[in-house]
């Protein structure tokens, strides 16, 4: 991630400003407010604003005038109860707003979570930067033969080198063609040709590769943030979006530490067992030797249950 001297000066000026408020503030989150947290090669996540804290969840649950109880342990107990029993609305009382810089293909995956307010950088109005995501060698993986959405082993040798060359060359060539079609003053582009009018920005952008970086503001409530992170910070999620989710998990832990602990215990690091799976578990606990053919589970369900139980399939 590259921050210019002018951008750093602007960030320092924003971060140096302080305000007096009666609203709840969280010192740990204030420490990183506005600061770009690097993700991938050119991306970042910035917390721009937030509303509420752990006590706001408690206050909403009790519909009280105060900021929760006098004992943090009581607040945490209530938050864990809410999380454990899937009481969701108190978590909607907290909101957070991020500024995210991310590759377009990650953005298109991210936008499937239709539970946020989003405003994206407009390539109809502005010109996209000459920045592209190129995977680190350890993330240049082959297609999985058993999972259409998954990766297998890492590419190596000539094939890996050729793939990296293609990704870089195609992105650079498409951006140069994009800049030529615009015929505008852009760093790294050919000089403007006064004899040409230039293609409209909204049309020229269609030539860019999906690893080109875009930016957006993404605002959501705590409940929907957790729904997003439960899926995207999971080990099965695509690496590139998981890299963003991991940074957001860290920010969430600064913001609402009590909720974050409950979230890890009852969502991220927990498992859901189906009714047939629970029946199998009860039979096992009763001392019965259960095998897949007589379990009532499909082979895939059986493997998944055994993985949850830490037993060989």
**According to the annotation, is 217 in a ligand binding site?**
no
**According to the annotation, is 23 in a ligand binding site?**
no
**According to the annotation, is 113 in a ligand binding site?**
yes
DSSP for 233-292, written as a single string: SSTTS-HHHHHHHHHHHHHHHHH-HHHHHHHIIIIIT-----HHHHHHHHHHHTT----G
**According to the annotation, is 124 in a ligand binding site?**
yes
Contact (Cβ atoms closer than 8 angstroms) between residue 215 and residue 128: no
Annotated catalytic residue 232:
yes
* Nearest in space to 33 (alpha carbons), one of 255, 258, 220, 186: 255
**According to the annotation, is 232 in a ligand binding site?**
yes
**According to the annotation, is 111 in a ligand binding site?**
yes
**According to the annotation, is 264 in a ligand binding site?**
no
**According to the annotation, is 175 in a ligand binding site?**
no
**According to the annotation, is 197 in a ligand binding site?**
no
- In angstroms, the CA 127 to CA 247 distance is 27
DSSP for 112-173, written as a single string: T--SSEEEE--TTTSPPPS-B----GGG-EEEPSS-TT-EEEEP-HHHHHHHHHHHHHHHHH
Contact (Cβ atoms closer than 8 angstroms) between residue 95 and residue 220: yes
**According to the annotation, is 123 in a ligand binding site?**
yes
The two three-digit tokens of residue 206, written as one number: 């269609």
**According to the annotation, is 119 in a ligand binding site?**
no
**According to the annotation, is 32 in a ligand binding site?**
no
Contact (Cβ atoms closer than 8 angstroms) between residue 30 and residue 17: no
> Which residue in the list 232, 267, 282, 283 is annotated as catalytic?
232
Residues forming the active site: 232
Q: Where is the binding site for dUMP, in residues? A: 109-112, 120-124, 205, 232
Which positions make up the binding site?
A: 89, 109-114, 120-124, 205, 227, 232
Which residues are annotated as part of the binding site for FAD?
A: 89, 112-114, 120, 227
């Amino acid at each position: 991630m590259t921050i210019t001297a002018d951008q750093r000066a602007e960030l320092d000026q924003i971060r140096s400003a302080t305000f007096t408020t009666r609203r709840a503030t969280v010192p740990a989150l204030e420490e990183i407010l506005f600061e770009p947290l690097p993700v991938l090669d050119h991306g970042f996540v910035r917390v721009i604003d937030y509303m509420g804290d752990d006590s706001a969840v408690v206050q909403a649950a009790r519909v009280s005038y105060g900021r929760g109880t006098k004992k943090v342990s009581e607040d945490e107990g209530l938050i864990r109860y809410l999380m454990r029993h899937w009481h969701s609305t108190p978590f909607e009382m907290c909101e957070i707003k991020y500024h995210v810089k991310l590759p377009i293909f990650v953005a298109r995956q991210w936008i499937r979570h239709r539970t946020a307010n989003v405003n994206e950088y407009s390539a109809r109005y502005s010109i996209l930067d000459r920045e592209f995501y190129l995977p680190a060698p350890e993330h240049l993986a082959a297609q999985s033969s058993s999972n259409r959405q998954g990766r297998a082993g890492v590419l190596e040798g000539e094939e890996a080198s050729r793939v990296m060359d293609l990704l870089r060359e195609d992105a650079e060539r498409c951006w140069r063609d994009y800049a030529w079609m615009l015929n505008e003053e852009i760093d790294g582009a050919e000089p403007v040709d006064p004899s040409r009018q230039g293609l409209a920005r909204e049309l020229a952008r269609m030539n860019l590769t999906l690893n080109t970086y875009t930016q957006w503001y993404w605002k959501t409530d705590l409940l929907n943030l957790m729904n997003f992170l439960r899926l995207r910070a999971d080990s099965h999620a695509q690496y590139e979006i998981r890299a963003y989710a991991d940074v957001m998990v860290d920010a969430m832990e600064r913001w609402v530490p009590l909720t974050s602990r409950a979230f890890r215990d009852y969502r991220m690091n927990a498992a859901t067992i189906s009714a047939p799976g629970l029946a199998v578990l009860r039979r096992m606990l009763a001392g019965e030797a259960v095998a897949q053919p007589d379990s009532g589970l499909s082979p895939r369900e059986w493997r998944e249950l055994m993985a949850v139980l830490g037993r060989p399939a």
